[in-house]
Amino acid sequence: MKAHVIYKNKRTALTLKQYAYYITYYKYNWHRDVELITLLEGEIEVNIHGKSYVMKEKDVMLINSNIGHATMARKPDSVAMVLHFSPEYFSHWFKEQPIFHLNSVEMACHGKMGAYEEIRQKMIQMTSYMELKSKSEEIIYESLFHSIIVDLFVHFPPHPDETYDALTTSGNEKIIKIIDYINNHFREKITLEVLQEVTGYNKSYISQIIKQHLGINYYEYLTRVRMREAIYSLTSTKERISDISFNNGFSDVKSFNTAFKERFGKSPSEYRKSLVHSQKQGSSNDKIYVELETLREILNGSSKKSSGPDSEKNLLQEQEKIDDSKLQEEILQEVTVEIAQLRNRFDKLAEKMDKLK
């Protein structure tokens, strides 16, 4: 069973979506839901509000409704847990102003570490009831969510914004128009002049809006899209690396290798071996949900890391250390026994020598 659930309470207009998944390629997302994300294993990069954040294990972030954001794994087998809910949820209490803009939980910038941990722990507790086997489990599951909302209201107070929804939607329509073109034509040569011609926007405006939404320039986004598709080919096909680089818009293998090492600290062939989960995807846009049993192992601290060569090597090294330690202990015990026996023999010889005198 996958660690993925959709819970609905029609009476309160509440829809919750919670899941744990492997973050792999660079993906741009935009949706109406408010999103809470916590990293369980690995390390990822998140682009939001024109800034780049590096999330490590146990970090928590809140992404508001209609905010464009992108994620990319910086380490293999990076696992995140996500909780989505619609902002219409607030309309149950606030009839006049149903849409609220929650203050973003951006890492530890507000100095409220305890609040982050409380939210994270409640998200984890909710996974114990993801199967929703009974009404009791449904009540507990929803109650934990309400408790998270309390933490958000207390520690990161929301504020109504009448223009917020319209403005962000308008801005997202423009950035999505640009991004859609790049996503569909990344194998071709794309310049600012080309983007200006197909979108009707000025070159400087295109640069500005991409930087504003993603915190990176258009060429970096283009490179990451190409990288996303190249990684999918690396892990899901047996194509040669040279063919993968050409088929995904890179001018040559050298530029592909350079771009790859800059972002992942390893060569494409090394990355191909380490991302053992990606072959399960039907396309580069699919999410790879974690099995519920695997999620529980991760939360219990007993998960098995990647079965790639690096992990096997580390396991062998650890086993060798254990074996060496046991061998040293056995030798020490044998030497101790031998010394005791030698001392006993020496004492007896000393007694005999005394008698001869």
Q: pLDDT tens digit string along 146-182?
A: 999 888 888 877 765 544 444 445 556 788 888 889 9
Amino acid at position 99, single letter: I
Dihedral of the alpha carbons of 316, 300, 290, 33, in degrees to the nearest 10: -140
| C-beta of residue 225 within 8 angstroms of C-beta of residue 182 | yes
Nearest-angstrom CA–CA distance, 179 and 189: 15
| Residue 16 pLDDT greater than 60, yes or no | yes
The encoded tokens of residue 312 equal: 């096997």
Whole-model pTM? 0.63
Tally the residues of the chain: 357
- CA distance from start to end of the chain: 86
Q: pLDDT tens digit string along 269-317?
A: 887 776 545 445 555 566 889 999 999 999 988 554 444 334 444 545 5
- 6 CB neighbour count, 10 Å cutoff: 11
Nearest-angstrom CA–CA distance, 105 and 67: 13
The reported pLDDT for the residue numbered 164 is 43
From the list 36, 78, 43, the residue with the least C-alpha distance to 60 is: 36
Q: What's the average model confidence in pLDDT over 122-137?
A: 93
Amino acid at position 346, single letter: F
